[in-house]
Structures are given as structure tokens and as C-alpha cells.
Amino acid sequence: MTPGGDLAARIRSLVRDVPDFPRAGILFKDITPVLSDASLMAAVNHALEEIARPLRPERVVAIESRGFIIGAPLAIALHAGFAPIRKPGKLPFTTRRVEYALEYGTDAVEAHVDAVRPGERVLIVDDVLATGGTAAAAARLVRELGGTVVGFVFVIELAFLAGRIRLADAPVASILRYDH
């Protein structure tokens, strides 16, 4: 599921490619210029809201850190609660952790133990879907907390990395897809 091309073209025109970040060989898609355009951010939020509303989420869970920027206004628009998923050691209360494999090691994400209520319908949000590892770990964490993942939404999808496959158990949507 992808919204209309005009919005995707506007986003694409502002996304900045940053070579060798966060490590050599990676071409990072930086959405910071998109964030600086208020009307574009409003359009992004509206498009994500239209995608998410039929899923009826009760909680929006966003992945550190640019996911917070996308997820918080989306939660407000959907009249849903908001909860952050962060790298280890960043949350002040008791947390639950999920570790996951990377192509070059392991990483982990955490959420407060009360971030999601049992049975709650949860939408997972981030800025970019790449390999899907972090989003899949976030989904596992939500399920371990008792939530039901009703979908995933992203501003950008790097489709050539096939991250969507790791998220096959719930609908996945993005506004802008890079196929190569």
C-alpha cells in the first residue's frame, strides 16, 4: 500500500543521500530536510493517518529516533496513545528488551513494561524500512508485552532490501519506495 505519487515525489526531492553513514558502504536516506518543510510534514502525517485509520490502532509505537517525530503527531491524529521504543539504557522506568541480529552483529530495543496494554491494537511507526530487523524486533517486543500488531507504516521503504518480508504478519505501508 502506497499513497499517491505527488507526495512521494515531494519527499524524494528533499531526501538527502549521505554516503558511508553510519558505516562504510551504507547510503543513508536522511529525511531531515523533509522534516524542515511544515506543509510537507503535514501532508506526510495526513497520508499516514489515512493509511492507519482503518487499522483502528489504540497505541502508536514509534522507533527511536526519527520514528518519534513521525509517530507522535500520528498518534494525536488517530486519538491513540503513544509509546517509544528505544535503544538500551535510554528509558527511565522498568523495561523489557528484545535482541535481534544484524548483518554485522546484534542490537536490541527496549520499551517500558507498561508501554502497551494486553490486547491493545498497536501500530508500529518509523521513518525508514530497510532490512526490517528493527521493526521486526519492535513487533516482537509489542507482542511480548501483550499487544496485537495491526500494521507498520513508514515514510520511506528501501524495497530492494526486502525488509517487508520480515514483517509479513501485519500490513506494511510506506509513502515513498526506492526499488534500487
Catalytic residue among 23, 49, 50, 103: 103
103 annotated active-site: yes
Residue 136's nearest CA partner among 155, 119, 149 is 149
64 annotated active-site: no
* Cβ atoms < 10 Å from Cβ of 6: 9
Between the alpha carbon of residue 48 and those of residues 73, 84, 106, 130, the distances in Å are 10, 18, 30, 18
Partner residues linked to 128 by β-bridges: 156
What would the DSSP string read from start to end of 65-116? THHHHHHHHHHHHHT-EEEEEBSTT--SS-EEEEEEEETTEEEEEEEETTSS
Host H or E run for residue 151? strand 148-158
Residue 18 phi, psi dihedral angles, 5° rounding: -120, 105
Catalytic residue among 58, 59, 66, 110: 66
Catalytic residues: 66, 103
